[in-house]
Amino acid sequence: MEWLGRATIDFAHSPTTLSLKKKDGSTTDLFRVVEAAVPPCHLNPVLFNGHVQTMWTAVKEHGPQIYYRRRVFEADKSSVAGSFAVDFVTEPHDDEDPSLPPRTAYFSEEKFSDLGSDDRRPMLIALHGLSGGSHEIYLRHGIASFLNDGNNWEVCVLNARGCAKSKITSGVLFNARATWDLRHFVKWARKTFPNRPLFAVGFSLGGNILTNYVGEEGSNCELKAAISVGNPFDLDISNKALQRTALGKHVYSKTMGTSLKRLIANHKEDLIKTSTKLDFDRIESVTYIHEFDRAVQTVLWGYPTETAYYRDASSCDAVLAIRIPFLAISALDDPIAVAEAIPFEEFKQNPHTVLCTTSLGGHLSWFEAGGGRWFAKPMHNFLSSLVSEIDLDATTPDLNANLNGIESVTEFAATRRKLQIL
């Protein structure tokens, strides 16, 4: 029962979740680790519902002061040619680059060449939400606690192409299914830091991309575990929910559409050089996010409609293909990543996944009375407990898990979006 900001917490998971071997030789399972990591959710009672929680993000607090150094990576495949920027958390510095977000500077070639290490420090890769970046306050709240614990984490943020004042160098932009830059970076991190356990967290659209990536990689995933926060999961359902109400359409959808228009406008000269497909006058007339996707995503990727794009890019089916420990955190009153889009049944079938829902929290908000954001606590607790207590090298995917509980002559290709007859 909700009372003065005390949210109800629920879980959706398989009856038997993935078995995990502890460093002391005993065993536990994924759900027990998650359950122990999730604290009570006591939010600011003044911010009494998802709309107020979400709108409070417009209040520009400073948030944790996190410093970065940036490295620009070139895609490793010609089919997804272009560059993307990764911001690595560093000690405070005073050489901030005015062309980059606050507290951010480029690596020197010398310092970047010395970055590789055979240490065993855990490494966290963060993915931001729609048109955001490493500077976003919600993201800094999420990663701040990892910088001050005893596990000595390394943390970095993968910025989507053109975001966080990064350059656009090709006509291959990011979208909700753009897993290629994350895949490239994880491969680079595995080679550069061969002994580090790698983890990832994705926020909102970044959560959708991360979920798709982990599902696509399946049992070959190089990550030890991943977390999705405020994931919209089913983009078609989420978009229809936005258009159904005046607040959803004229506030949330319009705000997101405006931010994407601004992103295109900021990179217009570079886009003209790299893509002749876009109609910039049409983009300028866009108001809502679905109109943006119709004018940009369908044109760039060849989808016949924006709803076809939404269906293909959604990560709800990818949940079934995940084969690493995976935690999703969602608020049931989220007005953007709506509850009806959450794939509850898919989480109940996959023993590698656990869904944690709260009755309050809004979109990437979960504001507590003291100003912190609750979601940062289960995030940190879960991953730190895996690092501190679990023998990660002994954790292997349950390849024999029968997700639907019956023998079948058909196989649902979870990351290819269709049923295949064997």
Choose the catalytic residue: 334, 352, 365, 384: 334
In 288-338 the beta strands, taken as DSSP E runs, fall at 326-331
Question: Annotated catalytic, 204?
Answer: yes
Question: Annotated catalytic, 334?
Answer: yes
H helices, E strands: number in the chain: 16, 16
Q: How big is the chain, counted in residues? A: 422
CA 58/CA 92 separation, integer angstroms: 26
Q: Which amino acid is at 118?
A: D
Which of the 8 DSSP states describes residue 59?
S
Q: Residue 141 has which token pair?
A: 């709240």
Q: Please give the backbone phi and psi of residue 132, each rounded to the nearest 5 degrees, phi first.
A: -90, -140
CA 207/CA 377 separation, integer angstroms: 17
Q: DSSP string spanning 379-390? A: HHHHHHHHHHHB
Pair 105, 70: CB distance under 8 Å: yes
CA 337/CA 334 separation, integer angstroms: 6
Number of Cα atoms under 13 Å in the Cβ half of residue 251? 12
Choose the catalytic residue: 13, 128, 135, 363: 363
CA 398/CA 4 separation, integer angstroms: 42
Choose the catalytic residue: 14, 204, 238, 384: 204
CA 409/CA 356 separation, integer angstroms: 33
User: What is the H or E stretch that residue 69 is in?
Assistant: strand 67-74
Question: Annotated catalytic, 234?
Answer: no
> Any idea which residues carry the catalytic annotation?
204, 334, 363
